[in-house]
């Protein structure tokens, strides 16, 4: 299964995602609470996949996505966004996001997005 870095500024969202991913057999190899940390985790862990919140302090998810794609053009990143952020979701897909899931997260949708991203 996949090695994954989970990125969200809300700890409860990271915990929820981590639980869903580990129950599906994946290994969460890193956590980040903003885009800067996510880029650093990506460099250190070289995960198979990153989940990325869009709205975060210091560096938002779209900027972090672009930086990760500069490091590895084949990086797999799934964006997580709240309802009402459709414009940002479009920006994220244009920047190379593999997929997006809408909060509140549903386990079957998260698993579907992971499978799609990993091929």
- Give the CATH number of the domain where residue 84 resides: 3.40.50.2300
Q: How far apart are CA 49 and CA 56, in angstroms?
A: 19
Q: Is the pLDDT of residue 15 over 90?
A: yes
CB-CB contact of 117 with 94 (8 Å): no
For 96, the 3-state DSSP assignment is coil
Mean pLDDT calculated for residue range 8-24: 97
**Residue 67 lies in domain:** 3-118
Q: How many domains would you assign to the chain?
A: 1
| pTM of the entire predicted model | 0.96
Q: How far apart are CA 7 and CA 52, in angstroms?
A: 5
> What is the predicted pLDDT for the residue at 101?
94
For 56, the 3-state DSSP assignment is coil
Q: Is the pLDDT of residue 86 over 80?
A: no
Mean pLDDT calculated for residue range 15-22: 98
Q: Is the pLDDT of residue 114 over 90?
A: yes
| Band of pLDDT at residue 87, cut at 50, 70 and 90 | confident
| Band of pLDDT at residue 75, cut at 50, 70 and 90 | very high
Closest-CA residue to 102 (of 53, 56, 60): 53
pLDDT in tens, 92-109: 999 999 999 999 999 999
Q: How far apart are CA 85 and CA 43, in angstroms?
A: 28
Q: How far apart are CA 91 and CA 54, in angstroms?
A: 10
């Amino acid at each position: 299964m996949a090695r994954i870095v989970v990125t969200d500024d809300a700890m409860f969202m990271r915990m929820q995602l981590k639980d869903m991913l580990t129950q599906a057999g994946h290994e969460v190899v890193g956590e980040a609470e903003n885009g800067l940390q996510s880029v650093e985790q990506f460099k250190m862990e070289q995960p198979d996949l990153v989940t990325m919140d869009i709205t975060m302090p210091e560096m938002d998810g779209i900027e972090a996505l672009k930086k990760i794609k500069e490091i590895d053009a084949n990086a797999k990143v799934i964006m997580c966004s709240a309802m009402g952020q459709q414009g940002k979701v479009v920006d994220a897909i244009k920047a190379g996001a593999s997929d997006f899931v809408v909060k509140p997260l549903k386990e079957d949708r998260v698993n579907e997005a992971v499978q799609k991203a990993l091929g």
